[in-house]
Chains A and B, each alone.
Chain A
């Protein structure tokens, strides 16, 4: 499968624990986005990388959230001191240099905070 991949697919954690998700974009896609989707809603933008630079962060992204893309390839999203309100599907998408705007999504990581 040469599409966007995410790991893990599911994560159950207790409130207060830290969690980290990984996204591997389509090869050579220089743009990478993180979104959060709650049940019955459309995805909401969290943050954006162009190569290794994090260029935009949503106001939704509290100080407990941090994202990195150290070598401009895979990205990680960490949530510290998880809260029950963090329970959601976390989606990653990538976009090629040659087709600005066209975003391809990964399967998502479903997080449940107990």
Chain B
């Protein structure tokens, strides 16, 4: 089955700096890669996603890049703010038919702390 590795496990930055979180996946059939933000005691919130026919996607201060050959994808947050502090999870799934039905395999999470 799919295995997703996420690094780093913790990341501490100063307000205004950039933050980068990296994930690798094992199943070359994976073709959908979402990122979730989870604040303490709250639900995972989808912040951005990318499909395998695209190499990069940007939404304001957040961007995701995908390298299918190397089987890795990254989350980039620019101009970080204290409210960006949370746990971030990457995930991967397959949406090309078959029997996977889109279940998400998550990374272990990155605790991001943005210091004012």
Q: Do A and B bind each other?
A: yes
A45 near B103: Cβ-Cβ < 8 Å = yes
| Interface contact tally, CB-CB below 8 A | 68
Given the complex of chains A and B, what is the CA–CA distance between A56 and B1 in angstroms? 14
Q: Which of B89, B95, B104, B106 contacts A100 (CB 8 A)?
A: B95
Q: Which of B45, B51, B102, B105 contacts A31 (CB 8 A)?
A: B102
Would you list which residues of chain A between 29 and 46 have a CB under 8 Å from chain B?
31, 33, 35, 40-45
Chain B interface bracket (under 10, 10 to 19, 20 to 34, 35 or more): 20 to 34
Given the complex of chains A and B, what is the CA–CA distance between A43 and B51 in angstroms? 21
Q: How many residues of A contact B (CB 8 A)?
A: 26
Given the complex of chains A and B, what is the CA–CA distance between A102 and B102 in angstroms? 9
Cβ distance A64 to chain B, nearest Cβ, rounded Å? 21
Determine whether B108 belongs to the interface, using a CB cutoff of 8 Å to chain A. yes
Chain B residues lying within 8 Å of A56, measured Cβ to Cβ, are: 99-101, 103
Closest to A103 in B: B104
A106 near B103: Cβ-Cβ < 8 Å = no
A103 near B106: Cβ-Cβ < 8 Å = no
Given the complex of chains A and B, what is the CA–CA distance between A106 and B42 in angstroms? 9
On A, residues with C-beta under 8 Å from B are 4, 31, 33, 35, 40-45, 48, 50, 55-56, 58, 91, 95, 100-108
On B, residues with C-beta under 8 Å from A are 4, 6, 32, 34, 36, 42-46, 49, 51, 89, 91, 93, 95, 99-109
Q: Given known contacts A48-B102, A100-B102, A107-B42, what 14 new A-B pairs fall within 8 Å (CB)?
A: A31-B102, A33-B104, A40-B108, A40-B109, A42-B4, A42-B6, A42-B89, A42-B109, A43-B89, A43-B106, A45-B105, A48-B101, A91-B44, A102-B46
